[in-house]
Chain A
Amino acid sequence: MPELKFAATLRALHDGGVEFILVGGLAAAVNGAPVNTFDIDVVHSRDAANVARILPVLEALDAVFRIQPERRLKPNATHLASAGHQNLITRHGPLDLLGTIGRDLGYQELIPHSVELDIADGLRIRVLDLETLIAIKEQLGGEKDRAALPILRRTLQEKKKAR
């Protein structure tokens, strides 16, 4: 397996002018929750101009669908314009491009629930806030989501205490 490069992947999206919000486990970790994750989850804007900006970035990252990497199936504009999840593998590791999360929440709905954070030298991106990460996991209610909730809730409590 190649070395995972979270920052390099996010920098490629950022430098390509892609509108996206970091969500999932990596967003939780960046928000301060002590959790491990092996993939990057982002919700992207599905408007045509943004989809057109994503495609060359994915090409540069050598992104193909993870389900059958040997077939080297590449995501196209139709995939990226959908509300579905594109589970990809890139030269820097797994990357999930999500049209929506939770109950049909897309980029526009999530923008008010995101914060801009500096996550590497010269790299400032939108990250879903901890409150919304928790709310979505509570809504989904799956075993995996419920398992993560105690750490996320306690992290939020500690953050509020520290303010």
Chain B
Amino acid sequence: MADGDEASLTDYSPDGVDLTLIRWMLSLTPAERLEFLEERVNEIISIRELNART
């Protein structure tokens, strides 16, 4: 990929919000959003607990 193409591969608002992430979330149903968040949060907790023991 040419360096010149990179600017078009991201989309941030002027205040720094990743609009591609928002669009991806909006492509999911509310139930899928909840399921995704539940899984991610539990993964974060697992990582924290793993590191608390080391």
Chain A residues engaging chain B, CB cutoff 8 angstroms: 1, 3-7, 26, 29-34, 36-38, 117-121, 123, 127, 150-151, 154-155, 158-159, 162
Contact = CB atoms under 8 A, between A and B. Distances in A.
Contact of B17 (A36, A127, A150): A150
Interface residues of B, number: 27
Contacts of B31: 118-121, 123
Contacts, number: 78
Interface in B1-54: 13, 15-19, 21-26, 28-31, 33-35, 37-38, 40-42, 44-45, 49
Contact of A118 (B17, B25, B30): B30
A158 B34 contact: no
Nearest to A121: B31
A7 B25 contact: no
Interface of B: 13, 15-19, 21-26, 28-31, 33-35, 37-38, 40-42, 44-45, 49
Ranked 8 nearest A-B pairs via Cβ = A117-B30, A154-B17, A32-B26, A34-B21, A150-B15, A30-B30, A32-B25, A34-B25
A120 B39 CA distance: 14
